Structure 1
Amino acid sequence: MSLPKCALTCGNKKLTQGCFRGNGKFPKDCPTCTENEILDSTLSKYTSNKKIKKIFNAAAKVESAGYCKWTRVQEALEFAKIYEAKRIGIASCVGLMEESLLLEKLFENHGFEVLSACCKAGAFDKTKARIPEEDKIRPGNFEAICNPIAQAEFCNKYKTDLNFIMGLCIGHDALFTMHSKAPSSTIVVKDRVTGHNPAAVFHTANTYYKSLFGK
């Protein structure tokens, strides 16, 4: 059984992209043609599951009103309003606490209650979580673990309606999302090299980062 390869078959805008254009032209191995069972079952969830429907409809309203006009930050704010959230959770990297404070104030200025949780909560040295000393950035020194599960549990305890990730490490963002009871979205994706703009690597794939792609 071959894996779906949408990026390969439709990654070039000159190709069909029939699912986007609605012209009925699809590559022979397009999942639109080969994965009918999954597609039919997922479509019904958008209309039958109340929680999913609420998120999905709010997302549609944000896209419709703010397409190419609103930044990600404003989209997050407007989504929270449309979703009718009352209490917002912010799970932040310690390196983005200043930015998270600005976000916290933004939401508060628009009438939301806000919980913000730093990734280093607990101040546990990495060795307490059985991370080997040699896997520290600076072996031999105190180095606090990131604690995304605790961040999620803080949000769960205080019953946030909607959570936003601010630059959690790769993997830690997944753990936060796994343990959060409230829906979670991301405002900042961590990339310490590109100023938190991972897409920059793709924009320079033929120049500065060509060696990464084997060019």
Structure 2
Amino acid sequence: MATRCTHTCSDCAVLACRSKTEEKYPAFCLTEKVDHQLLDQVVQIYKDDEELGNIARVSACIEGEFYGRLTRVEETIEFIKRMGYKKIGIASCVGLMNETRIFTKILKANKIKYYTVGCKIGAVDKTEIGIPEEKKLNRGCGHESMCNPIMQAKVLAEQGTDFNIVIGLCVGHDTLFLKHSEAPTTVMIVKDRVLGHNPVMALYTANTMCSRFKRELKL
């Protein structure tokens, strides 16, 4: 029995799909093997769904006009304006509230309304959901509030936000927020205390002698 090919896009060094260069597609190319009926259905979604289609078009236009020129913060502001969003929800880690505060000043300067909810909303102790005392940051020395991303999403829904922004939620907590957010959502900052909230540096330096991934990459 033939072994099924398990190569995917991250195994490709050609990326001919960027310009539909079919003669350069590798044998395992997912674009070449794509289910065209499914592809047609997906393309039709962009055409038929007003909100999703508008998001796709506005995003592409911002990319085309400002590629390599605007920061992520500037792109986000531009996206908000072009989409006509009236009220922005911000789901922020309390540990990055200073960064969030700076961002809200920028929103205010651009006359964009916002509503911020910190991750510790409700001040529920971690033990309430089964987190052992010894797994708390304070190792059980009193109350320690859990991160509550589902509550953040619920509060922003109650506030009627039409676009949400995640700032610094932990891995997993951001997953819960994204799953429960009722409004379209983007992530502005991902938390990485070790690398100054710039997790891609772990990949840029993965092949260096000081990398923590030497074993995985067989350096």
After TM superposition, the score normalised by the length of structure 1 is 0.92
Question: Could you say which residue in structure 2 is the equivalent of 1:28?
Answer: 27
Instruction: Determine what percentage of the aligned residue pairs are the same residue.
Output: 39
Sort the Cα spacing of 1:2 and 1:125 in 2 relative to 1 into closer, same or farther, 3 A: farther
CA separation in 1, counterparts of 2:5 and 2:52?
30
Moved beyond 4 Å, runs of 4+: 1-4
Of stretches 34-43 and 172-181 in structure 1, the one that deviates more from structure 2 is: 34-43
Secondary structure in structure 2 of the residue aligned to 1:206 = coil
CA separation in 1, counterparts of 2:7 and 2:185?
26
Question: Could you say which residue in structure 2 is the equivalent of 1:118?
Answer: 118
Q: In the TM superposition, what are the counterparts of 1:102-113 in structure 2 within 5 Å?
A: 102-113=102-113
Is the 1:91–1:151 Cα contact (8 Å) retained in structure 2? yes
Which blocks of at least 5 consecutive residues in structure 2 are unaligned? none
Coordinate RMSD, CA, aligned = 1.5
CA separation in 2, counterparts of 1:123 and 1:63?
40
Question: Could you say which residue in structure 1 is the equivalent of 2:191?
Answer: 190
Secondary structure in structure 1 of the residue aligned to 2:32 = helix
Amino acid at match of 1:19: C
Deviation, structure 1 residue 3: 4.3
Secondary structure in structure 2 of the residue aligned to 1:31 = coil
CA separation in 2, counterparts of 1:135 and 1:170?
16
Secondary structure in structure 1 of the residue aligned to 2:188 = strand
Question: Could you say which residue in structure 2 is the equivalent of 1:13?
Answer: none
Secondary structure in structure 2 of the residue aligned to 1:114 = strand
Q: In the TM superposition, what are the counterparts of 1:1-215 in structure 2 within 5 Å?
A: 2-3=5-6, 5-10=8-13, 16-24=14-22, 25-36=24-35, 37-141=37-141, 142-207=143-208, 208-209=210-211, 210-211=213-214, 213-214=216-217, 215=219
Of stretches 102-111 and 177-186 in structure 1, the one that deviates more from structure 2 is: 102-111
Which blocks of at least 5 consecutive residues in structure 1 are unaligned? 11-15
**What are the superposed Cα offsets for residues 148-194 of structure 1, whole Å, 9 maximum, x if unpaired?**
01111111001101111101000111111111110000111111100
After TM superposition, the score normalised by the length of structure 2 is 0.91
